Amino acid sequence: MSPTTVIVLGAGMVGTCTALHLQQRGHAVVLVDRRGPGEETSYGNAGIIQCEAVEPYPFPRELKKLLRAAFKRGGDVNYHFSALPVIAGPLARYWHNSAPARYPAIAQAYGRLSDHAIAEHAPLIEAAGANDLVRREGYRWVFRDPATLEAALRVAERVAPEHGLRHAALTPGELARAEPALRQSLAGAIDWLDPWSVSDPGELVARYAALFLRRGGRIARGDASTLRRGVSGWAVLTDDGAFSAEHAVVALGPWSDTLLRPLGYRVPLFVKRGYHRHYTGAAGPTRALLDADRGLVIAPMKRGVRITTGAEFARRDAPSTPWQLTQAEAAARELIDLPTPVEEQPWRGARPCLPDMKPVIGPASQHRGLWFNFGHAHQGFTMGAISGRLLAEMIDGDAPRVDPSPYSPARFD
């Protein structure tokens, strides 16, 4: 396909990687966002390129887990009663798709994107001069309950050979020696040896965006809601004036459905909100830790130790209710010292989720030249590079690196 002009709406990890891949193929690209690159959802995650995350989070079906969530007995799940009427439909479909008869095919499609995460990020990290942000030391899951550890090991032993992943089980003694900052003995750990961690996720997106600029791309501040269909393509208003292009890519994460609804698309997007905070003044873990029994991540970052929470089911823009972070802080303090919070108020973001746990990547069904790349839930940071490549290949009509059919927007038509 001959080079064209493209507007990419959304300068998070997914949108920025999409812009880079289109640019590499010779397209003239403008990247548009209301804020700077990497300052929204991509800023607030645990900073892990999770190639071990080859299966999405299914809706729990065990009564014990459902009751735990319903009565908010743990810090891993929270919800707003006021949001339930809005999200009940998508959540019912999420539960339906998590059934044993449907989940394996979904996990297989999901895993194909995770399988390419490291390989697609690696050249971008190198070209962006971002190796100083990246640690290639893996990701450690720690367990308080021996039964939970045993169940997780069974899953690891199943998925690792299928996806070419390396992992190792640590005894309580081995874990204590590997993580001297731990304040108590735990049941053990699983070391995933292949994931990479990033000391400043937002900065990595910013470095990718700077690479895009050095290669001749344009970045503009603007409101995606001004996107309009014209005679020969698409146009959007920015602080630098109007931009027109033959193609427009919607990579707005949790705001994507707001833009698409007036265009006639009813993508059943819902959000899982999350919180984080940094702490300084004491030794943290040697690498990112998942406290698997409490549903939080403790990650060493440039700004200190970052504590991230599980999922909060709420309206995207509802006021913050950082009850989960309070629970996560208490759980983290059982494991390590957390003396001084950096931020006065915790950060809050929203993860864009879909009921079948797969992102939307591909062409819009009702408008020529309109493309979707969003809905990566917890894994936009991990899957951004491969998703950007996949969409660029589709726009060019080339053979895609991954079969795109499971992610087609048409599945919601």
> What does the pLDDT look like over 26-79, one tens digit per residue?
999 999 999 999 999 889 899 999 999 999 999 988 888 888 888 888 778 999
Instruction: Return d(Cα 270, Cα 412) in angstroms, integer.
Output: 14
Instruction: Return d(Cα 326, Cα 324) in angstroms, integer.
Output: 5
Question: Residue 2: its pLDDT value, please?
Answer: 62
- Asked if residue 172 has pLDDT above 60, the reply is yes
Instruction: Return d(Cα 269, Cα 93) in angstroms, integer.
Output: 11
Answer CATH for 55-98+129-196+269-353 from 3.40.50.1110, 3.30.230.10, 1.20.1600.10, 3.30.9.10: 3.30.9.10
Structure confidence at residue 206 as a pLDDT band (50, 70, 90): very high
Q: Which CATH class is domain 5-44+202-266+356-412?
A: alpha beta
Question: Residue 283: its pLDDT value, please?
Answer: 86
Structure tokens at 291: 């406290």
**Rounded to 5 degrees, what are φ and ψ at 312?**
-120, 120
Structure confidence at residue 244 as a pLDDT band (50, 70, 90): very high
Average pLDDT over residues 17-29: 98
- Asked if residue 330 has pLDDT above 70, the reply is yes
Q: What pTM does this model have?
A: 0.96
Q: Where are the domains of the chain?
A: 5-44+202-266+356-412, 55-98+129-196+269-353
> What does the pLDDT look like over 123-169, one tens digit per residue?
999 999 999 999 999 999 999 999 999 999 999 999 999 999 999 99
Question: Residue 298: its pLDDT value, please?
Answer: 97
Question: Residue 1: its pLDDT value, please?
Answer: 57
Closest alpha carbon to 126 in 115, 118, 138, 114:
118
Average pLDDT over residues 96-112: 97
Closest alpha carbon to 124 in 7, 212, 29:
212
Alpha-carbon torsion 340, 342, 348, 349, what sign? negative
Instruction: Return d(Cα 236, Cα 5) in angstroms, integer.
Output: 13
Query: What integer best gives the mean pLDDT of the chain?
Result: 95
Percent of the chain with pLDDT over 90: 92
Question: Residue 276: its pLDDT value, please?
Answer: 96
Average pLDDT over residues 184-213: 98
